[in-house]
Amino acid sequence: MTDHDYDDPPSKSARKRHSDDLQALGEALIELSDNELDALPLPENLRDAVLLARRITAHGGLYRQKQYIGKLMRKIDAEPIRAAIDARLERQRIEAMRFRRLEQWRDRIVREGRPAVEQFAADHPGKVDPAALTDLVALAERASREHGEKLPLQASRELFRKLREIVQPAADAEG
């Protein structure tokens, strides 16, 4: 291979894939919260286009606005935007995992009662005081009764909230 082979411009397909990728990234900007959008180093015209796209309800108009956002995206360095969106997706993934873990703990505590509460306390040292331990056991018993009698699951929801309160400070320190 010669040096000339490396200087070939990207193929039309590669340019199209890159353009589509940037447009998808621009469309993801529409879904960001105002705070997340404000934190990004966006040119004013791109920020205005994203804000306008949020207000457009007509399908055709929104499609054209997304095309315009894609066009603007091709004129800027998209890596900081990509990094911010990736970080947001990672935070959402971590939150979903934490939520699922708490649901699993709640379900196990409802099924097993005191042994599961004691295991939860052992897995979260220094976070569950004796009074909270007693409350969790009582909630587990109420929730188990609600499940067995097909009653509204108020105790189960309250148990989940209590577990989240116990675990949440650790989750905030990680993030």
Classify residue 107 by its DSSP letter. H
CA distance linking residue 67 with residue 62, whole number of Å? 9
Q: Determine contact, residues 69/27, Cβ cutoff 8 Å.
A: yes
Nearest one of 64, 80, 83 to 23, comparing CA atoms: 64
Q: What is the pLDDT of residue 33?
A: 84
Domain span at residue 28?
A: 11-76
Q: What is the pLDDT of residue 19?
A: 85
Q: What is the pLDDT of residue 132?
A: 82
Q: What is the pLDDT of residue 174?
A: 47
Residue where a domain stops, chosen among 50, 76, 102: 76
Give mean pLDDT in consecutive 10-residue pieces for the chain, a chain of 175 residues: 66 87 88 86 91 92 92 89 86 93 92 89 83 86 84 86 81 46
Give domain status of residue 6, yes or no: no
CA distance linking residue 25 with residue 163, whole number of Å? 36
Q: What is the pLDDT of residue 2?
A: 53
Give domain status of residue 2, yes or no: no
- pTM for the structure as a whole: 0.65
Q: What is the pLDDT of residue 6?
A: 66
Give the CATH number for residue 136.
1.10.60.30
Indicate the number of domains in the chain: 2
Give domain status of residue 1, yes or no: no
Give domain status of residue 88, yes or no: no
